[in-house]
Amino acid sequence: MAMLRFALPALGIYLADPLMGNIDNIFVGRFGGTVALASLGPGTVLSNNLVFLFMSMLTSATTGLVTRAWKQGNGGPTKAGEALSRTLSCAILIGSLLTAFYLVCTPLALRALGAPEAVLPMAAIYTRIRGLSAWAVVGQGVCLSAILATRDAVTPLRMVAIAAALNFVGDWLLCCWPLRTGVAGAAAATAIANITGFFLMIRALRTKGMTPRIRFPSREDISPVLEYAGPLSVIVTARVVSFTSMAIAAANLGTTALAAYQLILGVFVVFAFVGAPLSSNAQSILPPLLDAGDV
């Protein structure tokens, strides 16, 4: 029962993002047309895959470090906040560098992904707007993992639900009525929701007594993150390469095929995240047990 009380809210957390991605597809496809929908293919690959690559490693490191600190008895929240400060500082730095990359290198990267010329302008607009919130996306993921590490899945579910609702309202206002700004509106709605979600997570952490201190990361901050990132980087990189390869292949088939691929991928990603709560459950339980030799 304890696992279900944790896993069911966590499932809602992990499904929120891909479900909102599908809602973006619906709004853009319905009110922007096939070319606009196709532009989301390379746009989402570029804006999501790099963020996913770094965020996966940082969130796993956060779960392990915060879980160990939280279980140390007196001063647990304070120690957990100190552990979170390490990974969150790295996350904000990496996210800021990603934002700079998206602003400067997006057209070149999209051409490397084989984006058709017909979708290139809209894909670049989408990616750059989404890229403005890259720092918040990575930071939000780290904060979310920190709260899950305390075995609290309900609090972050509320924060994610608020951000998802804001994303939906933004899609409606910017893509449907009164404005019809297409992919730019969908990207802006997502970026605003991501930034809002980040600050909601920070507020939740303060309530739990785990207020992080964001600073320029030192070697002592980076070292424990690399311990987790080393083995995990191989798995995550393989996933990113495979999804990127599929996107390149779809782009070579033309605009209509690329639009269809975007819809199919959106449905696939929803089901791909079904097992994520079990992974989070294990990551929040095992580190203290391993430290105690109780496995």
The model's pLDDT over 142-186, given as tens digits with 9 standing for 90+, comes to 999 999 999 899 999 999 999 999 999 999 999 998 989 999 999
As given in the structure block, the two tokens for residue 192 are 């605003």
Rounded to a whole number of angstroms, the distance between the first and last alpha carbons of the chain is 21
Tell which wins on pLDDT, 226 or 58. Answer: 58
Least confident span in 3-17, 70-84, 133-147, 242-256? 70-84
Tell which wins on pLDDT, 133 or 70. Answer: 133
What mean pLDDT comes out for the span 70-88? Answer: 83
- Could you give the CA distance from residue 211 to residue 36 in angstroms, rounded to a whole number? 41
- Could you give the CA distance from residue 281 to residue 275 in angstroms, rounded to a whole number? 10
> Are the beta carbons of 203 and 77 closer than 8 angstroms?
no
Least confident span in 93-107, 122-136, 172-186, 268-282? 268-282
- Torsion from C-alpha of 130, 245, 145, 266, nearest 10 degrees: 70
Of the candidates 97, 107, 102, 77, the one whose C-alpha atom is nearest the C-alpha of residue 139 is 97
> What is the DSSP-derived secondary structure letter of residue 214?
-
Its pTM stands at: 0.92
Treating both helix axes as pointing N-terminal to C-terminal, what angle do 219-251 and 34-70 enclose, rounded to 10 degrees? 160
Return all residues near 152 (Cβ < 8 A) that are at least 6 apart: 208
Burial of 72 (0-12, 13-18, 19+ CB in 10 A): middle
Is the pLDDT score of 20 beyond 80?
Answer: yes
- Could you give the CA distance from residue 87 to residue 42 in angstroms, rounded to a whole number? 29
> Are the beta carbons of 157 and 9 closer than 8 angstroms?
yes
> Are the beta carbons of 92 and 135 closer than 8 angstroms?
yes
Average pLDDT value over all residues in the chain:
89
H helix count then E strand count, the chain: 10, 0
